[in-house]
Structure 1
Amino acid sequence: MKYICTLFFVFIVTSSFNTPFSTTKNSSEKVVYDVVFREGLAGTYEKWKTNKNTVNYYYTYTDRGRGPEFSEELRFNKNGFISSQTVTGVNYLKDSIQEFFKSEKHSATWLNPKGEKKGAFNGDALYFRYDGSPAIYEILARLLMAAEDQKVKLFPIGEVELVENLPITLSNNTEVKLLMVKGLDLNPTYLWMIGNEMVAKISGNLHVIRADLKELRLEMKGIQDAIEDKYLARLIKKLSHTLEDVLIKNVNIFTPQGTILNNQDVLVNGDRITAINRSDDHEIGSEIEVINGQGKTLLPGMFDMHTHNTKFRGMLHVAGGVTSVRDLANNKQLKTLSNQFNTNEIIGPRIVTFGGIIDGDGPYANQRNVVSSVEEGLAEIQEYKELGYQQIKLYSSIRPKWVAPLTKRAHELEMRVSGHIPAFMTATQAINQGYDEIQHMNMVFLNFLSDTIDTRTPLRHTMSAYHGVDLNLKSKEYLDFVELLKTKNIRIDPTVSIFENMFVSVKGEPSPTYVKIIDRLPLLNQRDYYSGGLPKSGEKIARYKGSFNKMLAVVYDLHQKGIEIVPGTDGLPGFLYHRELELYAQAGISASEVLQLATIKSAEMTGVSASYGTIEVGKMADLILVDGNPLEDMSAIRNVEWTMKGGTLFYAKEVYQAMGIKHFK
């Protein structure tokens, strides 16, 4: 009876649209949600009503020393739209946040990272904050369910749509609704509702769930996953084009030697390249599909060598011309996702290297495959081997004394070892104890500071950002380290594009990492790239930028000295990969060599060059058609018209449109 009364109260309060509240008899009482990150309780979300039209919110969670903390207050007009809002606190990277929105009569004033502005406002659109609590999603859900056309205008620009409203009865007979919303993000947004209250928001590794329903969270996630799978299965049927015989006519080919061979005809039969000839006017059979490649460049599908794959990220990889990837830390069900990619059950790249992550326990643990002893670590390595993984990635909370026995066991099982450098250890020490590869350029820079830095925390970013500019590439310390890399045949996975965004971007301005594509993205993705990266002011602005430029100098220097550089992202698939390649070219590596790193060199390093990485007769038809010539201008690599993976064709424009992204044309 109490449950029925609660729902009745929800209806009475929310039917007036004054506030999105409440589930308690006393509306001043807090409603508390758990915030779960990577399957660990990481924070809390709370809301409480302070008067008839005002609700306050508090939201925080932690992720290895990072994570947001927001206090928020909202007021509403009679139609349920926000009339005033204040948000204070710190964002994920611990930079201070102060944002407000206030409407009066037919105008509104607002302050966010892009500055303070004023404009006409009639109270019939939803102001969507840059940073803040999950409250905005509950408000949006209520407005969408009430709208006749199931659409809501955003202020000052944008529109979202409710595309699914699914009634679901959970195992304990709780009746809920699962909403699928499009228009905010690259992926659909899923919101769980009871009446007009949001009781859960499950997105990737971050789950927010009302505390009284926490035992049902994994059940709800399973239901949502199944619905997502069906959605993605419908998409691939719509977006994939299977052609038996295809002739790509009069196209310019990127060769294994790193040159361009002009005016070629490339014949593909099924999933194989069967002929390459100089283009002529010979008769073509009516059964062959002809694609005009005149003035365009045909390249092998590219390799992103540092990824963390999900069902939705696969589409971005493929649309961006990436057909093969290394996954360097995921759950142990990754083979299932790989199968879905390989069989075209959902759109995604070929995972050619599976890297299993292991971290030590502690307050900054990665929260995925955490061990509390070296014996547990050895058992994890054995399990990964039995699952068919080829590589082990060690993380920041691994104890330094564990590194040698863990790398020894991995090598005995013919597995490579890479990763972050564990806290209180240097890269030199890690290499001497068995590392084969180092992830992230900041980990290289930390080698020249101290082994007393707790790199489990954000210090691994701020220390390299502040002191990296001082690194002397002619010093004995640096040259000795390079010689160690060469002697031990150590690879470096720089991911410099993520450091450009951290070190160089300025709050309120579009990040230089994403400036070329920011206007093509959905609302929330655009806003992510105005946040300014690491907090910085005064001398830090120049020092951080200088440290990033020094990172590019090291990438060039290592490449010139014969150290293997692998192009990877650890971020937004496709688009960030293009930026990584641009930055290598900006560092001074020739465009030809950059593209070889992205294709044949990566194929060789992952052991698949017999089938992938070059355009040659007999090889698999992993191909991309680019409008322009990236050897003349590396930025042309962004202009992917289509990607062919194993003979299945995906038009980038169609894939991007399905994700709410504008095409480059």
Structure 2
Amino acid sequence: MKYVSTLLLLLISVVSCKKTINTEVKTPEKVVYDVVFREGLAGKYEKSYTGNNSMHYYYTYTDRGRGPEFEEDLTLNAKGYITTQTVTGVNYLKDSIHEFFKSNKNSATWLNPRGETKGDFYGDALYFRYEGSPAIYEILANLLLGAEDKKIHLFPKGEIELVTNTSITLSNNTVLNLLMIKGLDMNPTYLWMIDNEMVAKISGNLHIIRTDLKAFRLEMKEIQDTLEDEYLASLAKKLTHNIDTVIIKNVDVFTAQGTVLKHQDVVVNGDIIQSINNTNNATNSNLKVIDGTGKTLMPGMFDMHTHNTKFRGMLHIAGGVTSVRDMANNKQLKTLNNQFTSNEIIGPRIVTFCGIIDGDGPYANQRNVVSSLEEGLSEIQEYKDLGYEQIKLYSSIRPEWVEPLTKRAHKLGMRVSGHIPAFMTATQAINQGYNEIQHMNMVFLNFMSDTIDTRTPLRHTMSAYHGVDIDLQSKDYINFIKLLKDKNIRIDPTVAIFENMFVSVKGEPSPTYDAILERLPLLNQRDYYSGGLPKSGEKVARYKGSFQKMLDVVLDLYNNDIEVVAGTDGLPGFLFHRELELYVQAGIPIPEVLKIATIKSAEMTGVSDLYGSIEVGKKANLVLIDGHPINHISDIRNVEWTMQNGHLFYSKTLYEAMGIKP
């Protein structure tokens, strides 16, 4: 880190001069970009000039049988704003897309998943499409560079700000500018520019890079990573409140037994719970006092299915989640956990490290892919040496590899879980050594066929269409439940993501996110109008019925004393709250759902001696809820603050830092 920071001091200077937009087209050339996903070449992005201020774009990439493909045409006015635009193709889930924007004098008409709309338009605000190519980012960058106050208005509402513009010289002496933009997304948007052309956009696992610079992509990523870390470290310093000794007075305390102790005074000394007593009027004047009247003190909660990044950490903490299982990531995950636990970057404690292994092939996960059993066995040993506790097998693993892989993992003291590999059933995977199954759709497929290619989107569409027909009184189902009990198999349902896939309708707010939609930045709002899996006709009712059947199975698992964990596999915090709401909707009593989110998860992950309940001597990983979730589960969303490792974090300020309305 010190070396990179020193290098950046030599390479970076901040650019403050005003940039003039040049929208003149010089040559009708085609500009080609690679699209890299999870470090594999996954697609391409092409830009062609079709006339004065008019361009055509093509964009596609693939991800295990999913991925978008767009054709896009647009025209700019003299100020650099879009005046006409059309987008056609398919989105990430292969649903058809047709959008347009067209303006005439002082009005505009636009069509997107929410329908067709008309309004006043004066050519001085940027229409931002729902789905489309990366073209919009280049246009946005040039508008921001040309704005005196480094801000532009979006149409029909919204504002975007250019926060930093950093000049960077690569090792081959190429000079670029890296822009950091806020207002579009919860995370800052980073764009790499040369003059008025975007040459790269690096975001998480998805990288778009002009082909002549592809050899320098990882160098650019390293520089951007360092700047991102410095930004997040500055937020941690700003948003962290250190505590010495504090008393939370007159608060209701949720217990490990699923009850509530009313009107308690809880004293925290550093990061330890020092005492819990009935409230009284006497207060040590040396203590910081927090009034807990009418509020509930919860243990820090556990999200049992996450894929962590440095930008997701604050969302967990803002939502009251202080501990997580990471269910597949890169092999540098320990470094991220160290950043979280040291509060260099705000984030939860990772209590379980799960290494992923997938087989090679056209639908491979593109992370830790092996082409032979021997390579898979070697990967398990490497994960063990790194300190990982669990192995997750993925959909392209060969069925004949499962038993020897699980035997090796078990010999090393590691649990095995995952997707059900293609052309296997859950029953077969369990009998060959699985300890846990990720995702309710993988359970559903057990009752359909052992010939389904679960590497492809069939794992979603088959369970969506046929899940409604599963009979919970059938012999096959009852035998499967007995197998789960006999072998002590854990189920990780992640039902909230299936609500979004199966139930949501294009153009309408997804029921999964409806409660928070208006609080989110623009692009995050747009994500939740897409409608999930393509569906029409009888599929609408069948998909909805299949989701209800998922909830029925969750309740049946609970009633049969089979371990169910609460995990998201998606948007941290908010999606976790929805997962808990859905368990209650399924019929599990609220106190039991809150125990699943706290003490039971702590027990499953082996940390209940310090975490998961509010008891004297345990770690003060605490969450103050404005309300009483034991009576109304949705009160779990009302997190006032989260406490961990001797630090206090106010949810309101964490959300505001991410562009989320409190």
Give the TM-score of the pair, scaled to structure 2: 0.97
**Partner deviation per Cα, 1:507-528 (whole Å, 9 max, x = no partner):** 0000000000000000000000
What secondary structure, in the 3-state scheme, does the structure 1 residue paired with 2:79 have? coil
Q: CA deviation at 1:15?
A: 5.7
Q: Is 1:479 matched with 2:478?
A: yes
Conserved? CA contact 2:509–2:528, under 8 Å: yes
- 1:644-655 equivalences under 5 Å are 644-655=643-654
Letter aligned with residue 107 of structure 1: S
Q: Partner of 1:204 in structure 2?
A: 204
Q: What is the CA deviation profile of residues 169-198 of structure 1, one whole-angstrom value per residue up to 9, with x for unaligned ones?
A: 000000000000000000000000000100
What aligned pairs does 1:98-137 form with structure 2 within 5 A after superposition?
98-137=98-137
Match of 1:373 in 2: 372
Equivalent in the alignment of 2:640? 641
- Matches of 1:622 and 1:227, distance apart in 2: 30
Partner of 1:186: 186
Q: Is the Cα contact below 8 Å between 1:251 and 1:296 reproduced in 2? A: yes
Q: Deviations over 1:544-571 (max 9, x none)?
A: 0000000000000010000000000000
Alignment of 1:10-409 (within 5 A): 17-18=22-23, 27-286=27-286, 288-409=287-408
Tell me the residue number matched to 1:3: none
Task: Specify the code of the residue in structure 1 equivalent to 2:383.
Answer: Y
Distance 1:580 1:310, change over 3 A: same
Cα 1:268–1:58, aligned 2, differ >3 Å: closer, same or farther?
same
Deviation at 1:17, TM superposition (A): 3.9
C-alpha displacement of 1:30: 1.0
Paired AA for residue 393 in structure 2:
L
Letter in structure 2 aligned against 1:18 = T
The one-letter code of the counterpart of 1:384 is: Y
Matched, 1:572 2:571: yes
Could you tell me which residue of structure 1 aligns to residue 655 of structure 2? 656
Query: 1:348-379 CA deviation, whole Å, 9 max, x = no partner?
Result: 00000000000000000000000000000000
Per-residue deviation, 1:284: 1.5
The separation in 2 between residues aligned to 1:247 and 1:285, in whole angstroms, is 11
Residue 285 of structure 1, CA deviation? 2.6
The within-5 A match list for 1:501-540 is 501-540=500-539
| Matched AA of 1:436 | N
Letter in 1 for 2:574: F
Give the AA of the match of 2:289: V
SS of residue matched to 1:48: strand
Q: Distance in 1 between matches of 2:290 and 2:222?
A: 42
2:182 partner amino acid? K
Alignment correspondent of 1:7? none
1:462 corresponding residue in structure 2: 461
Q: Is the 8 A contact 1:17 1:79 kept in 2?
A: no
Q: Partners of 2:282 and 2:521 in 1: how far apart?
A: 46
Where does structure 1 lack aligned partners over 5 or more consecutive residues? 1-13
What's 1:6 paired with? none
One-letter amino acid of the counterpart of residue 606, structure 1: T
CA distance in 2, matches of 1:145, 1:442: 47
SS of the equivalent of 2:643 reads strand
1:53 positional shift: 2.1
3-state DSSP class of the match of 1:628? coil
* Cα offsets for 1:329-358 (capped at 9, x unmatched): 000000000000000000000000000000
Report how many residues are paired.
644
Q: Distance in 2 between matches of 1:136 and 1:435?
A: 45
Distance 1:577 1:15 in 2: 45
Q: Which SS does the other structure have where 2:208 is aligned?
A: strand
Secondary structure of 2:173's partner? coil
Contact in 2 for aligned 1:299/1:623 (Cα 8 Å): yes
- Residue 610 (1) aligns with residue 609 (2): yes
Give me the CA root mean square deviation.
0.8
Please tell me whether the aligned partners of residues 16 and 78 of structure 1 are also in contact (alpha carbons under 8 angstroms): no
Residue type at the aligned position of 2:296: T
Rounded to whole Å, the distance in 2 between the matches of 1:208 and 1:129 is 19
Give the letter for the 1:390 counterpart. Answer: E
User: Contact 2:21 / 2:146 at 8 angstroms: preserved in 1?
Assistant: no
Q: Tell me the alpha carbon deviations over residues 73-95 of structure 1, each in whole angstroms, 9 at most, x when there is no partner.
A: 01011100000000000000000
Deviations 1:410-469 (CA, angstroms, capped at 9, x unpaired) = 000000000000000000000000000000000000000001111100000000000000
Distance apart, 1:16 and its partner CA: 5.9
Partner of residue 424, structure 1: 423
Whichever residue aligns with residue 389 of structure 1, its letter is: Y
Task: Determine if contact 2:642/2:651 at 8 Å carries over to the other structure.
Answer: yes
- In the alignment, the residues of structure 1 paired with residue 622 and residue 495 of structure 2 have an alpha-carbon distance, to the nearest angstrom, of 26
**The residue matched to 2:381 in structure 1 has which SS?**
helix
Equivalent in the alignment of 2:625: 626
Distance 1:17 1:632 in 2: 60
Q: Distance in 2 between matches of 1:243 and 1:628?
A: 24
User: Structure 1 counterpart of 2:181, which letter?
Assistant: V
> 1:16 and 1:586, CA in 2 relative to 1: closer, same or farther beyond 3 A?
closer
- Give the drift of 1:29: 2.3
Q: How many Å apart are 1:659 and its aligned residue?
A: 0.2
CA deviation vs aligned residue, 1:38-69 (integer Å, no higher than 9, x gap): 00000000000111121000000000000000
CA distance in 2, matches of 1:82, 1:130: 14
Tell me the residue number matched to 1:9: none
Quote the residue 1:560 is aligned against: 559
* SS across alignment from 2:598: helix
What one-letter code is carried by the residue in structure 2 that aligns with 1:632? N
Determine if contact 2:21/2:142 at 8 Å carries over to the other structure: no
* 1:196 counterpart letter in structure 2: N
Letter of the 2:269 partner, please give it: N
**1: CA distance, partners of 2:128 / 2:409:** 48
1:126–1:332 distance in 2 versus 1, CA, 3 Å: same
**Counterpart-to-counterpart distance in 2, 1:16 and 1:402:** 58
Structure 1 match to 2:436: 437
- Mapped to 1, the partners of 2:585 and 2:488 lie a distance apart of 25
Please state how far the C-alpha of 1:646 moved relative to its aligned partner: 1.9
Q: 2: distance between equivalents of 1:574 and 1:467?
A: 31
Task: Give the Cα separation in 2 of the matches to 1:51 and 1:647.
Answer: 60
Mapped to 1, the partners of 2:146 and 2:108 lie a distance apart of 24
The answer to whether the Cα contact below 8 Å between 1:303 and 1:603 also exists between their aligned partners in 2 is yes
CA distance in 2, matches of 1:660, 1:29: 38
Structure 2 residue matching 1:447: 3-state secondary structure: helix
Pairwise CA distance, 1:283: 3.2
Q: Deviations over 1:213-272 (max 9, x none)?
A: 000000000000000000000000000100100100000000111011100000000000
Q: Which amino acid aligns with 1:342?
A: T
